[in-house]
Structure 1
């Protein structure tokens, strides 16, 4: 078997300096060809294009898109891209605390399922995506220091907009109405078992005990992982995430 050539990159992700790694062959054989196709698509269209990346939790979506954005800076032949996250369209915590949803016969606060499709302002997301198609606009950004969105915090102006989120290709109302706004769509699939291990490990690294991390996964993460697997929706291109974090064409 061909030995993978991992390379490390220093980047700022969600406002924090991080060291990330990608397989050099994946960068050359998967990431750059995607950006070349998008460059050709944007130049042929002669206007801004929107690209959706839908992937479940713990797949490194935001890191991946920021890395793709950086690649368009490094390679001058590529059209500049800008990475955008869907998390800025979470309802404010005050809204989540004041509203409820019926789950399994019980009425629970939306704050208890933060991250589920029902906890996002899909109407605002659609409005901002339409505005971005027409010209320069402002997007909200999720601030992990206050655990709330900051409205109109980011100027959106690149020729290629890379938008990531769990639910962008969801085949349920009202999310499925967004699909027509995308010029190209990419979905990353991962086995639920692999995601379970990654999400539990992430919580343990954050300070939870293994027992509490497993309980949190079953209560909060598992429903989202399974919902994505069942309702992620079709995409123009599909990648698969492997156990070592590498990506291959699905």
Structure 2
């Protein structure tokens, strides 16, 4: 795994100082590289950080079908923002001896999986990443105050779209379907995500 850029690692190192639990949020459009950077930071920080993705709060596929939202999976109303906010609130106030279990998102299954990520109380830094950390509508607006620092990742749109299509194909979608999904769903979400850029502490250009 590649190491994260030195300036970003230095900022994360400062947040991972012992004695106080902090939360770093990494936001950006679909395909911007949020999970890759978050994983690189966690690996570089060793046992001082744990990754808790926002995607663990996707609504289940059956629920989206019932609500008529399956065709918009990834939009703000296809997640449980109140559940995510409640978890962040709990993570900010660790209890000695109590491990918090957070959900993950299984891309192969395209489903959230409860109780997948252990967050022991002694870990000083929680890194969370997702599309809507800086979104300011409805319950999403209550997420940003729970982040000690928030970064927004920017990637050339053409590169980002190509990587996003390739990711969909890698996880089993036909290329034509993946291209259509990106145009109809991911890119409208990307435009919405970009509206929160000004709420970030740091804008990170990637290549």
TM-score, normalization by structure 1: 0.72
RMSD: 2.1
Is residue 178 of structure 1 aligned with residue 156 of structure 2? Answer: no
Report the CA distance shift for 1:143/1:213 in structure 2 as closer, same or farther (over 3 A): closer
**Which structure ranks higher in relative contact order (CA pairs < 8 Å, sequence separation ≥ 6)?**
2
Kept after mapping to 1: 8 A contact 2:13/2:45: no
User: How far did 1:195 drift?
Assistant: 2.1
Instruction: Report the structure number with the largest CA radius of gyration.
Output: 1
Count the aligned residue pairs: 200
User: How far did 1:233 drift?
Assistant: 4.4
Q: 1:150 aligns with which of 107, 113, 118?
A: 113
2:15 corresponds in structure 1 to: 38
Q: 1:67 aligns with which of 34, 40, 45?
A: 40
Comparing 141-150 with 52-61, greater Cα deviation is found at 141-150
Q: Which structure 2 residue ranges, 5 or more long, are not aligned?
A: none
Q: 2:181 aligns with which of 186, 193, 216?
A: 216
Richer in helix (by share): 2
Kept after mapping to 2: 8 A contact 1:170/1:233: no
Offset from partner CA, 1:37-73 (integer Å, 9 cap, x none):
223xx44xx3211111101111222222121111112
Whole-angstrom CA distance in 2 between matches of 1:112 and 1:190: 25
Q: Which structure 1 residue ranges, 5 or more long, are not aligned?
A: 1-8, 10-20, 74-78, 100-108, 243-250
User: How far did 1:140 drift?
Assistant: 0.9
1:105 corresponds in structure 2 to: none
1:87 corresponds in structure 2 to: 55
1:187 corresponds in structure 2 to: 152
User: How far did 1:204 drift?
Assistant: 5.0
